[in-house]
A = this chain, B = another copy of it.
Amino acid sequence: MLDEAVRPAALRPGDTVMLVSPSGPTRPERVARGVELLTGWGLHVRVGAHAYARSGFFAGEDALRVADLNAALADPRVRGVICTRGGYGAQRVVDAIDMAAVRRDPKVVVGFSDITAVQLALWRGARLATIHGPGAAWVDERTPEQSAQSLRAALMGTEPVVVKRDPAEETARVSVPGTARGPLLGGNLSLLTSSVGTPDMPDLAGAILLVEEVDEPPYKVDRMLTHLRRAGVLRGLAGVAVGQFTNCADGWPVTVADVLADRLGDLGVPVLGGLPIGHGHGQVTVPVGTPATLDVAAGVLTVEPAVR
């Protein structure tokens, strides 16, 4: 039996949010559009002390990245923690997250991709419901107006989030009929796989697993799903919500949809592909950690809000 999620308060106009970079580096000009959007929704945007730091492929050394994250999580004036982007590096620091601060004052945490590692850690350490959505390094070409509205609704609204299968998505034909209900958990497949055998791997029994990926060829997606299967972490799953698998083609005559159908199709649970959640065009924001319903016939994933 899964614990109930802790839901932070919805953001309201006048609230302060903090931009942090737990993974890869960014620059002020790259988050300018994100800041503009957040400001336009009435939020005050502060930037973490080291959000623009650089050290190799990280946004500054481990100690700086987690210091920013912990400063944002501990500051009572900060109501939302917005990751600028993913990249790589969160798993190096998540064991140093100040979980006492998170439990004392749960707040909205937004991001995806490498930030899945932060979200899995917050789920483990504080049962915090978080928000799987674009970071502040916003690009209108990938995430146009409807993506902005989706993020705003997940941050500031308290209605369930409804995501419909997009028949144009490459994974749309990945489908096992049925309906499922359980907390939506997961995110980026690489990060989930890199959590196997660590305390951050969530107990997926009774859960709906969300998976999305970018820039991984089909054989590596096969390897990751095979790893999850062999590690036993998919046992007792309620269903699978398949998001975008972006730039996941290579030269072989096997598509990522073939691989997903093969590795997820025989689990004996409903699977809904084609959800516009991930690194692709028109990314929709979804809560993670809260109860969800997967209705494959209707092609709809409905998720209770992460905020209250």
Contact = CB atoms under 8 A, between A and B. Distances in A.
A56 B197 contact: no
B57 A197 contact: no
Task: Name, among A57, A95, A227, the residue most crowded by chain B CB atoms within 10 Å (CB to CB).
Answer: A57
A88 B223 CA distance: 8
B56 A91 contact: no
Interface in A213-258: 218-220, 222-224, 226-227, 230-233, 252-254, 258
A88 B258 CA distance: 16
A194 interface: yes
A233 B258 CA distance: 33
A92 B252 contact: no
A91 B198 contact: no
A56 B253 contact: yes
B198 A56 contact: no
A115 interface: no
A201 interface: yes
Interface in A155-198: 190, 193-198
Given A56-B252, A56-B258, A198 B230 contact: yes
Contacts of A224: 194
Interface string A202-219: 000000000000000011
Contacts of A194: 193, 223-224, 226-227
B57 A233 contact: no
A33 B23 CA distance: 46
Interface string A239-279: 00000000000001110001000000000000000000000
A223 B253 contact: no
Given A88-B223, A223-B88, A226-B92, A231 B56 contact: no
A200 B231 CA distance: 10
Contacts of A196: 196-197, 231
A222 B252 CA distance: 27
Contacts of A200: 230
B219 A88 contact: yes
A231 B57 contact: no
Given A91-B226, A92-B226, A219-B88, A252 B57 contact: yes
A282 B253 CA distance: 32
A225 to B, nearest CB: 10
- Most B CB contacts (10 A, CB to CB) among A198, A224, A252, A253 go to A198
Interface of A: 56-57, 87-88, 91-92, 95, 190, 193-198, 200-201, 218-220, 222-224, 226-227, 230-233, 252-254, 258
9 contacts: A57-B254, A87-B219, A193-B194, A194-B226, A196-B196, A197-B227, A198-B227, A198-B230, A200-B230
